[in-house]
Amino acid sequence: MSVVVPECCDDLKRERGRCLFNKEELTNILDGGPKLTEKRRRIEKMLINTPELFDDVSPDYLSHEDRYSNELRKATQLMTTLEKNGFTYNDAVTTGTGLWLLMDGNPLSLHISMFLDTIKGQSNPQQLQEWLPLAEKFKIIGTYAQTELGHGTFVRGLETTATYDSTTKEFVLHSPTITATKWWPGALGKTSNHAVVMAQLYLGGKCYGPHIFMVQLRDLETHRTLPGIVVGEIGPRLGMNSNDNGFLQFNHHRIPLTNMFMKHSQVTEDGKYVKPLHSKLSYGTMVQTRVGIVYHASRELSRALIIAIRYSAVRHQSEMVPGDPEPQILDYQTQQYKLLPHLASFFALRFSARALLEVFIGTSAGLGSGKMNMLPELHALSSGLKAVATNDAVKGTDICRLACGGHGYLSSSNLPRIYTAIAAGITYEGENTVLFLQVARYLIKSFRASSQGQTLPFSVSYLRVQPPSSHAPLMSDRGLVDALGAGVRWMVGEAERRLQQLVDSGHSPHAAWNACSVHLVQCADAHTRYYICEQFVDAVSKLGETVSSGVHEVLRQLCRLYILHRVIQTAGILLRCGAVDGKALTSIEEEECHLLATLRIQAVSIVDAIDIKDVFLKSTLGAWDGNVYQRIYEEAQKSPLNKSDVTQGYYQYLRPLMKANL
Ligand SMILES: CC/C=C\C/C=C\C/C=C\C/C=C\CCC(=O)SCCNC(=O)CCNC(=O)[C@H](O)C(C)(C)COP(=O)(O)OP(=O)(O)OC[C@H]1O[C@@H](n2cnc3c(N)ncnc32)[C@H](O)[C@@H]1OP(=O)(O)O
Ligand SMILES: Cc1cc2nc3c(=O)[nH]c(=O)nc-3n(C[C@H](O)[C@H](O)[C@H](O)COP(=O)(O)OP(=O)(O)OC[C@H]3O[C@@H](n4cnc5c(N)ncnc54)[C@H](O)[C@@H]3O)c2cc1C
């Protein structure tokens, strides 16, 4: 059946006709300015004009091995296309385009992110000069091998050892137990010929804790595994199965002294240890990746939202008024309640990701001149935002899937794949509960420091024991954000009180910490969300002076929805600490419903402004033209089961069953 694709279906035409703001202006804001929009579109055009980057057959129909090879084919093609056209792989990552083409995890992603970032951030000048050009030109291909079968979260508990032998000036890498096997690193199984490996440094029989080493794993000509190394792939996962997550064991494998990354700590030829300025500087690559993940999560959430909101404008179901035509499902308040707060979250995360990036850049510049004081703040912010962003992206993506009813469960909607890929983000790069507990540690320390009269860093300054009282009217954006801040202060104060009470009653501080950890995680989550609200309000108010009134109004409404929704989610705490009363909550609930109806009118135009092209959305439900049913039907025709009317399975199994005398 041939498809006549209308320019765009009537429903979407009508939706777009109601747009009251300048879409291009909103696109520019999301990209970070018109120049960045223009650059992103140039990259997209170049990629769209490279047919080799697209799948002929859906990866769903490929074998495990073919999925990997197909993705590797596209990943290498992507790198050469970028290079030939004067772009870097970073350009493809920071615009999202590259990651979207490589739809389900790709075998070069660890190379272009954590492997290169470790070389840039952990090398001394000689190492940088030696390794960076090789890695940038793909002469060596690597990954980040830290997690082991027995330990992922607890980096200090890693078992892989790197023992210095001063007689040969080498480190001996060894995996003493099965649990010391490196397990999970992306691209480790079959792609990488090098890895940066986290191992316990031993000098003269003493352990100096985890340090990073550059290790060659495979021969650069034959790609065969080197002696003393066992490496392979770990098998199918929930998602991202086109990556070759791998395992790695060392059997007394020797590497030169100069292969320990020596920017921050050093080992001399005679085996002396030189301490770093801060003990956690070797965790820098993780921090940098967490910053990137906040952007990544917001982008993936936006893809799901575009799909679900366009589909909700095209899908008609049931009767709102008996006898009337079936309405667009987006007209149901419950559907708006499912989707629009997540749309607001996407904007909130995007502005917060930008603010975090600035903190990261500022802190990194400080580290360059020996200033370590911003490191705890960066660690807490990046941990909290990584956790909230991935939690919300996963939840939001699943809500988008559910909001599309049965068709959201179709692989061709692309929602399952977006979901399984981003779901891994809750676990990798620091499991979210664990990261929240790191944030909580910072909150409690800050709260205690404030009681002793110390000045607090900016992200926690609102926790000070005697904060200035809020002058903003409660129902203003600022007033509600101040109320949320008061709620977090109350929660942290309460956590501190409970901790102290447990210690006073004879518990060790560690036992007390564990006994309060559910509450502590809630404090960290609430603190991070307060920070996000602040960033959203600040960004919208700063933009107010520079953008047109239509765009400003949309941003103001989204920001308001985010705050109202957050207040309702936190109602219990806010009532307990007296920051709001029942009457205020009732009016907030009513206002939220009102705002849903207002935002619904322009919802399609808002997701259009996110400006993700169909080839990157890869969805039968979310395409720009809204031609949903034809696309779903055509995708189904591609199923290999439809190649013949009667399948082999019929002759092999079904027919014998039907003929059997049961
Ligand atoms: C650029 C990318 C772009 C886009 C991304 C897109 C897609 C994703 C692409 C790639 C990602 C794919 C795969 C992911 C790869 C991985 O998963 S790699 C493995 C990641 N592993 C982890 O994250 C492990 C998590 N665990 C930890 O980080 C630590 O073990 C810990 C923080 C939980 C605890 O560390 P310890 O050494 O045990 O700490 P401690 O002795 O208890 O001390 C705590 C004190 O140290 C401070 N601290 C901890 N970490 C840091 C840090 N990074 N920076 C600064 N300070 C740190 C902490 O605050 C405590 O300080 P106190 O003053 O309170 O003592
Ligand atoms: C798709 C994917 C890709 C990955 N890529 C890489 C990679 O490239 N390189 C790499 O080195 N690693 C990689 N990892 C590993 C990843 O970083 C770890 O899985 C992650 O750090 C969590 O560690 P874990 O698996 O040991 O979980 P655990 O730490 O065993 O967590 C299990 C449970 O225990 C809880 N828990 C653990 N510690 C605490 C605590 N202190 N307090 C309270 N609760 C706790 C957690 O909250 C969780 O509920 C990848 C993982 C995945 C899923």
* 3-state SS assignment for residue 434: helix
Per the annotation, binding residues are: 147, 186
| Amino acid present at 561 | L
Do 213 and 164 contact (CB within 8 A), yes or no?
no
User: What atom in ligand 1 is closest to the CA of residue 434?
Assistant: 33
Determine if ligand 1 sits within 6 Å of the CB of residue 138: no
Binding-site residue positions for FAD: 147, 186
Asked if 487 and 510 touch (Cβ cutoff 8 Å), the reply is no
C-beta of 121 in contact with ligand 1 (< 6 A):
no
How many helices (H) and strands (E) are present in the chain, helices listed first? 24, 11
Q: Taking 70 as the threshold, does the pLDDT of residue 3 lie above it?
A: no
| pLDDT on residue 2 | 47
ipTM of the complex in this document? 0.98
Catalytic (active site) residue 429: yes
Q: Which ligand is nearest to the CA of 380?
A: 1
Q: How many CA atoms are closer than 13 Å to the CA of 342, on its beta-carbon side?
A: 32
Q: Percentages helix, strand, coil for the chain, rounded to the nearest 5? A: 60, 10, 30
Which of 73-82, 464-473, 511-520 is least confident?
464-473
Per residue in 108-137, pLDDT (tens digit) is 999 999 999 999 999 999 999 999 999 999
Give Cβ neighbours of residue 353 (< 8 Å, ≥ 6 apart): 291, 294, 295, 298, 385, 389
Averaged over 154-183, what is the pLDDT? 98
Query: Which residue has its alpha carbon closest to ligand 1 atom 41?
Result: 156
Token representation of residue 33:
């300015």
- What is the rounded average pLDDT for all residues in the chain? 95
Residue 5 has pLDDT above 70, yes or no: no
330 has a pLDDT exceeding 70: yes
Residue with tokens 């709260």: 447
Contact 70 CB / ligand 1 (< 6 Å):
no
Q: List Cα–Cα distances, 585 to 118, 341, 477, 537, 592, in angstroms.
A: 48, 17, 14, 20, 10
pLDDT digits (tens, 9 = 90+) for 361-375: 999 999 988 999 999
Average pLDDT, integer, range 221-248 = 97
Taking residues 180-204, report their average pLDDT: 98
Q: pLDDT at position 56, please?
A: 78
Model pLDDT, residue 103: 64
% of the chain surpassing 90 pLDDT: 93
Q: What percentage of the chain exceeds 70 in pLDDT?
A: 99
Q: How far is the CA of 279 from the centre of ligand 1 (A)?
A: 12
List the beta strands (DSSP E) in 217-256.
229-233, 246-250, 253-256
Structure tokens at 620: 């039968």
Condensed to tens digits (0 to 9), the pLDDT of residues 579-590 reads 999 999 999 999
pLDDT digits (tens, 9 = 90+) for 399-422: 999 999 999 999 999 999 999 999
Give me ligand 2 centre to Cα 290, in Å. 14
What are the tens digits of pLDDT across the range 292-325?
Answer: 999 999 999 999 999 999 999 999 999 999 999 9
Q: Mean of the pLDDT values across residues 564-571?
A: 98
Res 6: pLDDT: 54
Residues paired with residue 253 on neighbouring β-strands, in sequence order: 173
Mean pLDDT of 393-402: 98
377, 429, 496, 534: the active-site residue: 429
Cβ–Cβ < 8 Å for 265, 273: yes
Q: What is the mean pLDDT of residues 223-229?
A: 98
Report the C-alpha gap between 497 and 379 in whole angstroms: 25
Give the amino acid at 171.
Answer: F
Which residue segments constitute the domains of the chain, with CATH numbers given? 140-276 (2.40.110.10), 284-459+475-610 (1.20.140.10)
